[in-house]
Amino acid sequence: MTTPIRVAVAGASGRMGEMLIEAAHAGEGVRLAAAFDRPGSPVIGRDAGAAAGVVTGVTITSDAAAAIAAADCLIDFTRPEGTIAHLAHVVRLGKAAVIGTTGFDAASKAEIAEAARVVPIVFAPNMAVGVNAVFRLLDVAARILSEGYDVEVIEAHHRFKVDAPSGTALRMGEVLAQALGRDLKQCAIYGREGVTGERDSQSIAFHAIRGGDIVGEHTVLFAGIGECIEITHKAGSRMPYALGALRAVRFLAARGAPGLFDMQDVLGLR
């Protein structure tokens, strides 16, 4: 019998943390080995599965280093500053990491890339398999619709999300810009207000909606003269992200060697 991959989940009290714990507890080939949260969190000392109504036998701790030491792989969907702090433990202990956190600045991304020289890391703005299929579809669509079509990216998330545009929307923009031969830093527009003038045909625009409990919706609009093409992904729950993260865990375990990967690598789309 193959030994299950031991997983530690960061941010145990968060919506995504709770879903990751539920998925890891029930996941094939993996075992929930640890779960941790920020010091002072009200969930410290509780069973990790309490929010889902299951008993995992894993107690939530505030000791990130000990939790990571007890696992083979860390899954982290927290905040940039927390993830970077956790990553230091991952490197020191020689573990693997699956990072779904968004909102990193360039310096933090460079830290992740440097860590991947020592340990294996999957770093992706969206772990859902369906979203990663959409990334591939967008690449194909953008190459076909490269002339005469204006490109807009619209995303919607719950009221608690702190970064905008979403990491998924930005990744969509990167895919589109690469396929269209444009520099996203030069052509991106983030919302519009006032007298903006006619639309620049080379721009890629982003629009962020925040409200209620929307899990995540992303639409890319290719607007031409007399026709409009939309490619949309809607998440009805956070489970697709959790299942994708576990798929990334199994990918890293099979690979073993250090390196920086994303979900396109995990899904064999490169």
Kindly list the catalytic residues.
Answer: 157, 161
| Tokens representing residue 127 in the block | 């772990």
CA distances from 121 to 19, 115, 195 (A): 21, 8, 45
- In this structure, the strands spanning 30-36 and 73-76 are unpaired
As given in the structure block, the two tokens for residue 114 are 């440097």
Q: Name every residue whose Cβ is closer than 8 Å to that of residue 69 and which is 6 or more positions away in sequence.
A: 89, 93, 95
d(CA 267, CA 130): 11
Structure tokens at 118: 């020592």
Residues in the chain: 270
Which residues lie closer than 8 Å to 159 by C-beta, 6 or more apart?
Answer: 210, 211, 212, 213
